Each structure stands twice: as C-alpha cells, then as structure tokens.
C-alpha cells in the first residue's frame, strides 16, 4: 500500500494526515504554514516539522506522495518556491503543492459542484460550477479584503476599544478583555503594539470578541453579526454561476467556522435563510481533501 500525506497549511495552524492507502494512520498539527511573499522557507520549515511529527507517530520516515494545500500560493513564484523547499526535505517521493481552496473543495464535494466558504486568519469563498469551472470571491488580503476574517474581527475589536476609551463609542467588555488577555496590559501600550502588530497577532484578538459576544456584550455581538453578513455576501455573489440549478450546497471551513466557534451559528443561520443555498452542518477536514488529491494519478488545477 502507498503512504499518502495530506497537509492543510493555513494562517493559524498546519494540519497533517498520513494514510496507508485509504486508512488514516496518524495526524499532527503545527504552526502556521501559510506562505507570505519572500517567506516560503519559513512556511516550509513549519510544514516539515508537522509532517515529520505525523510520520514519526506512524513509525515512518517518509511517504510516497505528499500534497500540501497552502494559503498564499495562488501565484506560481510562491507555489514553486514552497514545492522546492519541501522537495529538499525528502518527505516523500512525490511532492505536490496546491492552494488551500483546492483541498477544501475536494474535501467537501470531490468533483461535484458546490461552494466552500472559508473564514480563518483571512476569508474567501470558492465555487465549482455545474460545468466544472472554478470561481472565487475575496481572499485579497488584509488591505483589500478578508471581510469576516479573524483579522477583520480583531481589528474591529481594537477600533471598539479605542472608541470606547474616547467616549465616541459604546462601553464594551472588549476594553477589559483585550487588556487582560491580549498582548499588553495598558491602553497606551496597546496603541504602540497596534502600530507594529503583524497580521496573525491582530487576528488572535478575534477569540476575545467571541468570548465577549458569548457574554452578551452588544459591541462584540455587533462585530460578529457584521462578520457573518460579510461572509454571506461572499457566498451569494457566486450564486449566478449556477444558472437555475439548485439547491446549491455550501460547506464551511476555517478556524472561525469550526464546530463550537461563535461565528459558525450566525453564518449557518444566514445561509439557511438565503434563497437557493443549502448549508452543510458537518465539519470539513481539508487535510483529508489533500489526501484524496494525493491518491489521484495527477493533481487538480490550483485556483488562482
């Protein structure tokens, strides 16, 4: 039996699944494996560490086919650079690097039509139309998009804390949570921190917004509602590619839409009310989509 390795490399974590034929024999997680321009080596190091952990747990040194679905490899330079770094690690005889959206679609629908909505550090929606064509909405990064993402939610939290401090906005539990559980403990320090904070650091504040919303904080609840509406907009903008067919299945992926996360319920509720859409409740495992691609004789085209 062949040994297949599937990897979902996102902006928050890297998930690995190793299979002997059709049977998954080990899993592992690691640090963020998303690729940023000029930083493919950093992503490759984190992916390699997670893959080796999974192989060790399975009693193996390497596999036959490795498929990595990574965020940030929509362009050839990043995809090629990551693939060459991973080949040098000798993790498998054959190494394929594709987009994180490719493995999410494969995990959700195989070759069938459907829409995958992703909300993690960033956000994006991707569709496979009935004619097989691939379409996407969003995913343009923190400056041009990523509505409804952890970054957008975290930045909204910082904005709310600043406005509450000035009396320009409503009082909010976020003022307490961000300074007690966030990166610093004083407001002036938070201002300084925010000017140099990296994408993932701001995105990490989203969990505090979810906590405040769960405690019925009105400001945090409004941020969550706005995020859910933005994510719905990504999906509904793709409906036109399905002609008059329906219902259109929609699967959820990304850490913010995982089971038990505060954002999942309002997004599902909006999707279920939307005309022609049929939201799936079951959890999506993109790493298993990577395994499915690894078992195929050739890789699927990446979504640019």
pLDDT tens digits, one per residue of 222-252: 999 999 999 999 999 999 999 887 799 999 9
Q: How confident is the model at residue 298 (pLDDT cuts 50, 70, 90)?
A: low
**Average pLDDT over every residue of 185-213:** 95
* For residue 304, pLDDT beyond 50: no
- pLDDT tens, 53-106? 999 999 999 999 999 999 888 788 888 999 999 999 999 999 999 988 899 999
Does residue 216 have a pLDDT over 50? yes
pLDDT value, residue 71: 85
Predicted pLDDT of residue 10: 85
Domain boundaries, given as residue ranges, for the chain: 3-105+286-295
DSSP letters, the chain, are --EEEEEEE-SS-EEEEEEETTEEEEEEEES-----TT-HHHHHHHHHHHHHHHHHHTT-S-EEEEEEEETT--SHHHHHHHHHHHHHTT-EEEEEEEEHHHHHHHHHHTTS-EEEEEESSSEEEEEE-TTS-EEEEE---TTT--TTSHHHHHHHHHHHHHHHHHTSS---HHHHHHHHHSS-SSHHHHHHHHHH--HHHHHTTHHHHHHHHHTT-HHHHHHHHHHHHHHHHHHHTTGGGGTT--PEEEEEESGGGSTT-TTHHHHHHHHHHSTTEEE--S---HHHHHHHHHHSSSPPPPP-
Average pLDDT over residues 195-206: 92
Q: What is the CATH number of domain 3-105+286-295?
A: 3.30.420.40
Q: Which residues pair with 99 in a beta bridge?
A: 70
pLDDT band at 143 (very low <50, low <70, confident <90, very high): confident
How sure is the predictor about 141, in pLDDT bands with cuts at 50, 70 and 90? confident
Residue range 272-294: mean pLDDT, rounded: 90
Q: How confident is the model at residue 17 (pLDDT cuts 50, 70, 90)?
A: very high
Q: What is the mean pLDDT of residues 26-47?
A: 90
């Amino acid at each position: 039996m062949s040994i297949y390795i599937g990897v979902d490399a996102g902006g928050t974590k890297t998930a690995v699944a190793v299979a002997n034929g059709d049977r998954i024999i080990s899993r592992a997680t690691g640090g963020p494996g998303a690729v940023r321009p000029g930083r493919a080596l950093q992503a490759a190091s984190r992916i390699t560490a997670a893959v080796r952990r999974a192989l060790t747990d399975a009693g193996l040194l390497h596999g036959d086919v490795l498929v990595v679905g990574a965020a940030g490899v929509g362009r050839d330079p990043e995809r090629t650079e990551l693939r060459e770094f991973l080949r040098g690690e000798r993790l498998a005889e054959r190494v394929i690097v594709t987009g994180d959206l490719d493995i999410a679609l494969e995990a959700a629908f195989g070759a069938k039509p459907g829409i995958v909505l992703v909300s993690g550090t960033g956000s994006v929606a991707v569709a496979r139309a009935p004619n097989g064509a691939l379409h996407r909405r969003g995913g343009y990064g923190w400056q041009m998009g990523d509505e409804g993402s952890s970054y957008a939610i975290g930045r909204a939290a910082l904005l709310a804390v600043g406005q509450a401090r000035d009396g320009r906005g409503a009082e909010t539990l976020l003022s307490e949570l961000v300074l007690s559980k966030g990166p610093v403990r004083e407001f002036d320090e938070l201002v300084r921190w925010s000017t140099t904070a990296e994408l993932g650091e701001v995105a990490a504040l989203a969990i505090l917004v979810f906590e405040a919303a769960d405690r019925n904080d009105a400001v945090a609840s409004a941020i969550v509602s706005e995020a859910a509406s933005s994510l719905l907009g990504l999906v509904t903008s793709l409906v036109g590619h399905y002609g008059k067919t329906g219902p259109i299945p929609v699967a959820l992926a990304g850490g913010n839409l995982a089971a038990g996360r505060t954002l999942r319920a309002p997004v599902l509720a909006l999707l279920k009310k939307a005309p022609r859409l049929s939201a799936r409740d079951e959890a999506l495992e993109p790493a298993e989509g990577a395994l499915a691609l690894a078992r195929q004789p050739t890789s699927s085209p990446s979504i640019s």
